[in-house]
Every structure is written in C-alpha cells, then in structure tokens.
Structure 1
Amino acid sequence: MTPISPGCGALLEAMRHTNPLVQCITNDVSMNIAANVLLSAGASPAMVSAEEEAGEFARIASAVTINIGTLWAGGVPGMKAAAKAASETGKPWVLDPVAHYATGFRRAVVVELLDLEPTVIRGNASEIMTLAGIEARGRGVDSGDSSSSAETSALSLARQQNCVVAVTGEIDFVTDGNRSVRIEGGSLLMPKVTALGCALTCLVGAFAGALPENPFEASVAALAMFAVSGEQAGLTARGPGSFQPLFLDALSVIDGARIDAEARITAA
C-alpha cells in the first residue's frame, strides 16, 4: 500500500467537517441513491439543474457534478451554466460522461463540456478510452473493457485536459497525468445496483469540494471510501436488494482509521 499525503482517513474527516454543498446535476435514475450516498458519507446534496438557476447556484456550492446519463436538450444549458460558473469561481467540477460514445448528440455535448475544463473526469473504462480517442467495446452505459486496459488512455486524457481522471471498475485507476494509483476493493454486487457509479461521481465532488486544492488526493479518498464501504456491505448482503441499505450504513459509520487500515491503494 502506498500512503496518500495526507492520508485518506484525514481527508474523510476533513470532508465531514466541511460538510460540502454539492450541486448534483445527474440523471433521473440516480438522484435518490446519489443524494443518499452523499448524506450517508457526510456531505450535503442539492439537485439543482434548471438553466434559470444552475449557474447562480454553482457560485454558492462547494462543487458541481455533471452526469449525462439521461441527457435531453432542455438540460444542457443548465449543465453548461453550472460548469462555466464553477470554472469562473474556482470551484471544482466533476464530469461523468455516461455513454458519451453512443450517439452524436451525446458526443457533441461532451465536447462542449470538456471545453469548460472539468477538474475531474470519472467514468468506466470504455468511456475513458473513447474520450481519449481509442476504440473501445462499450455497449450503452456498460463498459466492455477492463479498467486496466484504460490506464494509458486515462494518462493521455489527464494530460490533454489538465485534470484528474478516475477510471472505475474491478480495480480503480486514478491519475493526474503525473501521479497514478490503483485502488482495490468493493463488491461484485455493486454493478448490480443501479446508479452506484453515478453516486460515486457525486462523492468525488464532495471530497473535491472540501479539498479544492487537491483534486487528485480528493478523488483517491472518495474511491477508497467507496471501495472499503462496498467490501464491508458485501460481507453480509444476500443480493443487490439487501446490499444497497447495507452500503449506505457502511458509508455512514466508516471512519478515517478504518479507511487507512483497510484501503488497498498502490502506486501505478
């Protein structure tokens, strides 16, 4: 294990002490679980996405997260307004480019959002590979590629965009183009519960909002918290139905000492 400085446990305690307000512009499927994940972890969610207020709200939020899962034309102006306001005010914002390769509409919107300089891009292997210009095997929202196969693409994308890139999958990979780590953990039940990846994007936003000067460390800490909590919930869950509430419970009770003791983080 390679320690992150400061340690992930200290970053968790800092996030909870800050109780960051996270503006979550996310898809219709994920709103409930994303909000519950943030509340359980110690952050404050706000599902504010309308064009008329998204930009204004971003200026008072600690961080913004944008997920294009259930993309529609009427929602794009709010996404762009929030991202623009976050960039102008120095607030971190996280992009989740869900299935951006699936249609021309999605591809065009993601190009516009990338121009607004996300602080962190969080996606599965196929999403990250195609963003970097590499052919991938994604099908709809599902990745057809392993996270290890996306590491080179993640490095390239991080350098191109000057941001942190987090690839999530069986082993997570986080890089800022210079430093890189792998994070193991979680549960095989996690992909069977809808929108947990989307909720993770919001949790990355929470840590980044509390630690705006350290988006790499913030992203690693968020993924480590998810991995350790998921592993704990999976020990007693009987299936995806029982996993979800156990996972929320695990997020709520995990502390810094446990993350430091159980997170499996290695330098890449």
Structure 2
Amino acid sequence: MPDVAPELVTAATAIVAAVRGRRPLVHRIGPGVTAPIVANGLLAAGARPLVTDTADEAPALVRAADALVVGTGSLSGDARAGIPPTVAAARDAGVPWVLDPAAIGVAPVRTRLAHDLLRQGPAVVRGNASELLVLGSGGSGGRGADAVHDPEDALEAAREVARRSGAVVAVSGAVDVVTDGDRVVRVEHGSPLLARVTGTGCLLAALVGACLAVAPEDPVAATLAATWWLTLAAEDADPLGSRTPVGPGTFSVRLLDALDRFEPTSLAELTEGNRER
C-alpha cells in the first residue's frame, strides 16, 4: 500500500488550522460519564462544546451549532427522546452531523436507534469494530463499549455502511481505518492508554464534528484530521522511551495538554504509519 495521498495531508493541515481559527460550536448529545473529557478536549482543541440532550431544548439549540455529534452510549430517557428531533432539526438547518453508535449490539433500544439514525444522513459514522459490524452485517456487538473485534475484521462492514449511508466511516482501534466505501486509509498512531481512559472514543467523535464543521465539503479529510490530531496527541502524551511510566490518570491530563499544543504544521511530515489503498 502506498503512503497516504499528499493532498489529504494538506487538506487535514488546513482543517486543523481552521478549527483553531474559527472555534466551531459542536453540539454533542452523548453519555454523561464522558462529558468532561469531551467538553475539555474540544476546548483544548480550540472548539466550543454545547451539551444539551432534551427534546425541549436540543432541537432549537442545534440550529445555532456548527456541527452535531450524536452518541448512543449510556442512553438516558432524555437523550432517547431528544435525539430524533435534534437530528431532524440539524438536517433542516444544514448542520453536518456525526453518528457515534456506542455500545450497540446487545442493548436493544440503542441498537434500533442507531440503525434508524444511519438512515438519516450522517456525514460521518465513528465507532469501534464491533459496533460497525452491528451496523454493517448484523453482528452481535462487543461487551458494552468494549470492542471484541479488530478494525480489519470490520473493514468490509465499514465499507458497506459507507456505501449504503453515503457517510464516511471511521473504525477506531490499534490501527484506525477511515473509508468512504471505496478509498481506505489506515492510521497507525496512538497509545494503548487511549483504551484505558473513559471517553476517548467519544472525544474522537467530537473532534470529527469540530473538523467537519469547518470542512463539511470534505468529510474524508475532516475525519482524518481529527483522527491524526487525537492519535498524535496521544503519542505526545505517552512518549515512547520515557523513563517515567505514564498511567491512565496522568495520560488523560497530558492528552488535553497535547491537544492544546498540537501544531497543524506537524501533519505535513506524516508518512510512516499512514497507508492508503
């Protein structure tokens, strides 16, 4: 497989810079347990979070947002009632949105909801391999939010989801995979500690939303920009060869600092660990 196309890296670099310059407002509906790292991560990246999930207010507020991110994890009654009309309002207002089908498979309510939402035109779907297998081929899912499959196991399911929905699909794991149904890009960056901190997947979905907000016409580049941003920041937060081991608590704080100091120009040197086919 060749290195990732230079034009994708150039586009991603411009997108990260645009997030910093335009400070998009990202409306996020998702589990409360991950709200702090998502909100703080967006702020560290230069975006602004909006966290409202009630049917009384979310559909009105989303019209003022630059992007919407919908996560199905820890689905509350308020979110269950608020998500469908909020997505409908976003579509009506032309606000691009991201579907994060967290922990679907065993859970019947959120699984049905995720399948319904997939038909509502998300620009990007971001999940782990087990979640994408549920959406693409009717798999049984993982154990809660934990994946029991590798992204390569879900590649064909992800491509099927992309072709069927028209969305760009990002599969998170040790090697992240991004596809539009035809093009496939692999990202071999990150840290094992990403899987030991609650909410890093939700944070990635929110970063995708921030990048999509400034480049709605290029969801592939926006998704890659967010994926590179988080995974390279994770490497910065957990440097190889460090004499002092980094644990998950320290890592979570250092990750926010790394997101904040991330320089868009660092993407220009991306070659190793990024492959396209």
TM-score w.r.t. length of structure 2: 0.92
Q: Which residue of the partner structure matches residue 265 of structure 2?
A: 257
C-alpha separation in 1, matches of 2:270 and 2:60: 40
The structure 1 residue matched to 2:186, chosen from 174, 179, 182, is 182
SS of the counterpart of 2:26?
A: strand
Amino acid at match of 1:172: D
Q: What is the CA distance between 1:136 and its match in structure 2?
A: 5.2
Q: Tell me how far 1:203 sits from its aligned partner.
A: 0.7
Structure-to-structure mapping, 1:38-187, within 5 angstroms: 38-135=42-139, 138-187=142-191
What's the offset of the Cα at 1:26? 1.3
Q: Which is worse superposed, 84-93 or 224-233?
A: 84-93
More off after superposition, 114-123 vs 129-138: 129-138
Counterpart code for 2:96: P
Q: Aligned partner of 1:265: which letter?
A: N
Could you report, residue by residue, the CA deviation over 1:79-125 in whole angstroms, capped at 9, with x for unpaired residues? 11221111122211011111111222122221222232211110000
Aligned partner of 2:227: which letter? L
Gaps of 5+ in 1: none
Distance in 1 between residues matched to 2:49 and 2:197, nearest whole Å: 20
The residue number in structure 2 matching 1:200 is 204
Relative to structure 1, is the Cα distance of residues 73 and 112 closer, same or farther in structure 2, using a 3 angstrom cutoff? Answer: farther
In structure 2, the CA distance between the partners of 1:96 and 1:137, relative to structure 1 (3 Å rule), is closer
Tell me the secondary structure at the aligned position of residue 59 of structure 1. Answer: helix
Deviation at 1:262, TM superposition (A): 4.3
Q: Is the 8 A contact 1:7 1:260 kept in 2?
A: no
DSSP-derived class of the 2:156 partner: helix
The alpha carbon displacement at 1:5 in A equals: 5.6
Counterpart pick for 1:12 among 12, 16, 29: 16
**Aligned partners of 1:7, 1:216: CA distance in 2, in Å?**
10
Q: Quick check: 193-202 or 70-79, which moved more?
A: 70-79
Counting aligned pairs with the same residue, the percent is 37
| Aligned equivalent of 1:267, options 229, 251, 276 | 276
Q: Confirm or deny: 8 A CA contact 1:125 1:150 kept in the other structure.
A: yes
Task: State how far apart, in whole Å, the 1-side matches of 2:149 and 2:96 are.
Answer: 28
Q: 1:242 maps to which residue?
A: 250
For 2:38, the equivalent position in structure 1 comes to 34
- The answer to whether the 8 Å contact 1:136/1:145 transfers is no
What letter corresponds to residue 26 of structure 2 in structure 1? V
